[in-house]
Amino acid sequence: MRATLTIDLDAIADNWRALDAMTNCETGAVVKADAYGLGVAQVAPALWKAGARTFFVALAEEGIELRRHVGPEAKIYVFAGHMLGDRVMISAGDLVPLLNSLDQIARFKERLPGRPYGLQIDTGMNRLGLEIAELVEAGDLSPELVISHLACADTPEHPQNASQLAAFGFARQFNAPLSLSATGGIMLGQDYHFDITRPGIGLYGGLPFADATPVVHLSLPVIQEREVAVGETVGYGATWVAERPSFIATVSAGYADGLIRAMGNRAMLYAGDVPCPVVGRVSMDLITVDVTDLRETPDELDILSAYQTIDDLAAAAGTIGYEILTSLGARYHRRYVGG
């Protein structure tokens, strides 16, 4: 039996409403990477129902797929801008590319003259976006949206937040709506909100939105339980040695399902609210868990729940909640509730 990944669409909608209530501007929704791995076909309609009207994706291909689920009235922006081969998709999907370079501006004006576009400018992250000198060189521009992206928004005291905010003031010359903040920027306060915000991870229950409603619940079926004597080892490399007579449950999931090998012995699974430590190495399809302290072993153990969030699991693996969420694999039985 496959593991079950339950995705709460009402929680996603509640998180969008909560983030929207923190601002006095429009709140968009970032649904790139198949809605952070949770399924854009289900997530986007729930966000539309909640009130989102503007969506952001990474690629034109994602925009085409999204358009099928939100209808013709939604505004869809593409972070990657207008790349080679995107012309037909931008036109057919009524997508708005956020142009990132002089080459993209030239390509767009040549191949899709008259269509709406936005601009992404670099204010200090040095990842995507036009430099201010390039904007001067580009000449007359009439974007319908200008965005930039904060590098350190999840660290409120970092000085780069203020420096990027100051640099973004240059964008006011375009007399267009402005957008600087994703989830972390929303948390920084009104000065960072401008005309539209772009929450992503906060919609899906992740930090830095600490008050987010949990969205995902992942239950792993127990395949087998066995007794292990003192001194016996468990798993590849014999990295865990029993220091007491133990009962070890083997559950059906592993790193092929996005449960990162690096979490090793630092992660927990839960029987209700009772933590059960992972023992030994995470393997491709299996995880071994110490259930000695349970009165009886349930048919399933939870690795994501209200007791262990994506960020808790990420901490055990030495990574971030984004990676946990977007790595959740295709083998799970996906169960949607609400919406």
Per-residue pLDDT of the chain (339 residues; tens, 9 = 90+): 899 999 999 999 999 999 999 999 999 999 999 999 999 999 999 999 999 999 999 999 999 999 999 999 999 999 999 999 999 999 999 999 999 999 999 999 999 999 999 999 999 999 999 998 898 888 889 999 999 999 999 999 999 999 999 999 999 999 999 999 999 999 999 999 999 999 999 999 999 999 999 999 999 999 999 999 999 999 999 999 999 999 999 999 999 999 999 998 889 999 999 999 999 999 999 999 999 999 999 999 999 999 999 999 999 999 999 999 999 999 999 999 998
Topology match between the domains 9-204 and 216-337: no
CATH superfamily for 216-337 is Lyase, Ornithine Decarboxylase; Chain A, domain 1 (2.40.37.10)
**Is 322 in the active site?**
no
Where in the chain does DSSP place strands (E)? 4-8, 26-27, 29-30, 54-57, 75-78, 96-99, 118-120, 146-147, 178-179, 196-197, 216-228, 233-234, 240-241, 246-252, 268-271, 274-277, 286-290, 300-304, 333-337
- Sketch the domain layout of the chain as residue ranges: 9-204, 216-337
Catalytic residue among 32, 255, 270, 322: 32
**Amino acid (one-letter) located at 120:** Q
**Is 32 in the active site?**
yes
Q: State the pTM of this model.
A: 0.96
Give the pair of three-digit tokens for residue 113: 């003259």
Q: Please tell me the CATH code under which domain 9-204 is placed.
A: 3.20.20.10
Rounded to an integer, what distance in angstroms lies between the CA atom of residue 83 and that of residue 67?
19
Catalytic residue among 77, 109, 236, 270: 236
